[in-house]
Structure 1
Amino acid sequence: MSRNRSGPSGTRLTLQRAGWKQSVALRWLLLLLFVFLFYFSMASRFVPETYDITLGAKSERDIKAPHQITDEKATLEAQEKAAESISPIYSIVALRNETLLDQIFSRIEQLNQDDQITEADKVDIYRREIPDLVNRYLDSFVQANTGTQTYSSTLLEEMKKVTSEQLYRVPEETFYKLPKLTPEQIADMKTVGRDVVRQLTRESLTEAETGRTKVAELVNASSLSLKTEREAVQELARLVILPNKFYDKQATEEAKVEAKQNTPPVVIKQGDVVVKAGQAITQDIYDRLVALELLKERTTYWPQLGVLLLSVLFTLAIYGYGAMTEPTDVSRELTNVQWLMLLLIFGLNTLMMHLVAFTHSEQWPFIGYLAPVALGSMLVTLLLDMHLGLVSAFLFTMLASVVLNVRQDNLFDFHYGIVAAAVSFTAVLAIHRASQRSAILKAGIMVSLFGSVTVLAIGLIAEEPDRIQLVQSVGFMFASGLLTAVLVIGLMPFFELTFGLLSDLKLVELSNPNHPLLRKLLTETPGTYHHSLMVGNLSEAAAESVGANGLLCRVGSFYHDVGKTKRPMYFIENQNGGANPHDKLEPKVSASIIIAHARDGADMLKAHKLPKPIRDIAEQHHGTTFLKFFYYKAVKQAKDQGVECEYTEDDFRYPGPKAQSKEAAIVGIADCVEAAVRSLNHPTVEQIEGIIGKIIKDRLDDNQFNECDLTLRELDRIAVSLKETVIGTFHSRIEYPDEKDFKPKEKLS
Structure 2
Amino acid sequence: MKDFINKLYKNHSLIYKGLLFISTTFFIVYLFPKSGKFKYNFENGKPWQSENLYAPFDFAIKKTDGEIESEKEVLVNNSVLYFNLDNTIEAKIKSSYSNHFKNTFSDSIPRSVSKKLYKIGEKIVDELYLFGVLSEDYNFPEDRAIVVLDGRVKKQDGFFSHLIKQDGVSKVIDNALNKQGVIQYKTVFTSLFFDLVEPNLVFDKSFTDKALQEEIGKIAYTRGSVAKETLIISKGEVVEGDKYQILKSLQSEYESQVWSKSNYIWVLFAYTLLVALALLMLLLFLRKYRIEVFENNTKVTFIFFNVSLMIFITTFVVNYDAKYIYIVPICILPLVLKAFFDARLGLFSHVLTVLLIGFIVPNSYEYMFLQIIAGIVTILTVSELYKRANLFISVGQITLIYIIAYFAFVVIHEGSVKTIKWEIFIWFILSGLATLFVQPLIYIYEKIFGLVSDVSLLELSDTNSKLLKELSDKAPGTFHHSLNVANLAEASANEIGANAMLVRVGALYHDIGKMRNPTFFTENQSTGINPHDELSPKESARIITDHVINGIEIAKKNNLPDRVIDFIRTHHGSSVVYYFYMQEKKEYDDVDKLDFSYPGPKPFSKETAILMMCDSIEAASKSLKEPTSTKIDAFVENIINKQIKDEQFLNADITFKEIESIKKVLKHKLANIYHLRIEYPE
TM superposition shift of 1:478: 1.9
Greater CA deviation, 523-532 or 372-381? 523-532
User: In the superposition, relative to structure 1, how do residues 577 and 330 fare at CA in structure 2: closer, same or farther (>3 Å)?
Assistant: farther
Matches of 1:729 and 1:336, distance apart in 2 = 41
For residues 438-587 of structure 1, the aligned pairs below 5 Å read 439-440=390-391, 442-452=393-403, 454-455=405-406, 470-486=421-437, 488-543=438-493, 548-576=498-526, 578-587=528-537
Matches of 2:315 and 2:224, distance apart in 1 = 25
Q: Which runs of 5+ in 2 are unaligned?
A: 1-7, 39-56, 72-219, 226-251
Question: What is aligned with 1:255?
Answer: none
User: In the superposition, relative to structure 1, how do residues 465 and 635 fare at CA in structure 2: closer, same or farther (>3 Å)?
Assistant: closer
Residue type matched to 1:292 in 2? S
Say whether residues 1:727 and 2:668 are aligned partners.
Answer: yes
Is contact 1:318-1:392 (8 Å) kept? yes
Question: What is aligned with 1:351?
Answer: 312
Matches of 1:73 and 1:632, distance apart in 2 = 94
Counterpart among 614, 621, 629 of residue 579 in structure 2: 629
Q: TM-score by structure 1 length?
A: 0.54
Greater CA deviation, 473-482 or 35-44? 35-44
User: In the superposition, relative to structure 1, how do residues 334 and 445 fare at CA in structure 2: closer, same or farther (>3 Å)?
Assistant: farther
Question: What is aligned with 1:221?
Answer: none
Question: What is aligned with 1:430?
Answer: 381
* 1:63-99 Cα distance to aligned partner (Å, 9 max, x none): xxxxxx9962787xx99xx9xxxxxxxxxxxxxxxxx
For residues 156-171 of structure 1, the aligned pairs below 5 Å read none
Matches of 1:608 and 1:731, distance apart in 2 = 35
Question: What is aligned with 1:6?
Answer: none
Query: Aligned pairs, how many?
Result: 475
Matches of 2:551 and 2:276, distance apart in 1 = 47
Say whether residues 1:651 and 2:592 are aligned partners.
Answer: no
Counterpart among 394, 416, 427 of residue 367 in structure 2: 416
SS in 1 for 2:483: helix
Question: What is aligned with 1:682?
Answer: 626
Question: What is aligned with 1:395?
Answer: 352
TM superposition shift of 1:586: 4.4
Matches of 2:635 and 2:670, distance apart in 1 = 16
TM superposition shift of 1:614: 0.8
Q: Which runs of 5+ in 1 are unaligned?
A: 1-15, 49-68, 83-262, 269-287, 406-411, 739-749
* 1:204-261 Cα distance to aligned partner (Å, 9 max, x none): xxxxxxxxxxxxxxxxxxxxxxxxxxxxxxxxxxxxxxxxxxxxxxxxxxxxxxxxxx
The RMSD of aligned alpha carbons is: 4.5
TM superposition shift of 1:351: 0.9
* 1:505-549 Cα distance to aligned partner (Å, 9 max, x none): 322222122222223333443332232122223334545666654
Matches of 1:687 and 1:17, distance apart in 2 = 53
User: In the superposition, relative to structure 1, how do residues 478 and 529 fare at CA in structure 2: closer, same or farther (>3 Å)?
Assistant: same
Residue type matched to 1:473 in 2? I
Is contact 1:20-1:26 (8 Å) kept? yes
* Greater RCO, 1 or 2 (C-alpha within 8 Å, sep 6+): 1
Is contact 2:574-2:648 (8 Å) kept? yes
**Structure with greater Cα Rg:** 1
Residue type matched to 1:482 in 2? L
TM superposition shift of 1:295: 7.0
Question: What is aligned with 1:597?
Answer: 547
Say whether residues 1:670 and 2:614 are aligned partners.
Answer: yes
Matches of 1:619 and 1:546, distance apart in 2 = 23
SS in 1 for 2:574: coil
User: In the superposition, relative to structure 1, how do residues 337 and 722 fare at CA in structure 2: closer, same or farther (>3 Å)?
Assistant: farther
Matches of 1:727 and 1:490, distance apart in 2 = 41
SS in 1 for 2:436: helix
Say whether residues 1:370 and 2:331 are aligned partners.
Answer: no
Matches of 1:38 and 1:370, distance apart in 2 = 21
* 1:34-77 Cα distance to aligned partner (Å, 9 max, x none): 655665554545369xxxxxxxxxxxxxxxxxxxx9962787xx
Residue type matched to 1:666 in 2? I
Say whether residues 1:292 and 2:256 are aligned partners.
Answer: yes
Residue type matched to 2:435 in 1? T
Residue type matched to 1:722 in 2? K
Matches of 1:689 and 1:729, distance apart in 2 = 9
Is contact 2:604-2:653 (8 Å) kept? no
TM superposition shift of 1:618: 0.9
For residues 238-257 of structure 1, the aligned pairs below 5 Å read none
For residues 38-77 of structure 1, the aligned pairs below 5 Å read 39-42=29-32, 44=34, 46=36, 72=60
SS in 2 for 1:72: strand
For residues 288-367 of structure 1, the aligned pairs below 5 Å read 292-293=256-257, 296-299=260-263, 303=267, 307=271, 310-311=274-275, 314-315=278-279, 318=282, 321-324=285-288, 337-360=298-321, 366-367=323-324
For residues 10-25 of structure 1, the aligned pairs below 5 Å read 23=14
Q: TM-score by structure 2 length?
A: 0.58
TM superposition shift of 1:704: 4.0
Counterpart among 338, 341, 349 of residue 381 in structure 1: 338
Residue type matched to 1:673 in 2? I
User: In the superposition, relative to structure 1, how do residues 309 and 635 fare at CA in structure 2: closer, same or farther (>3 Å)?
Assistant: closer
Question: What is aligned with 1:137?
Answer: none
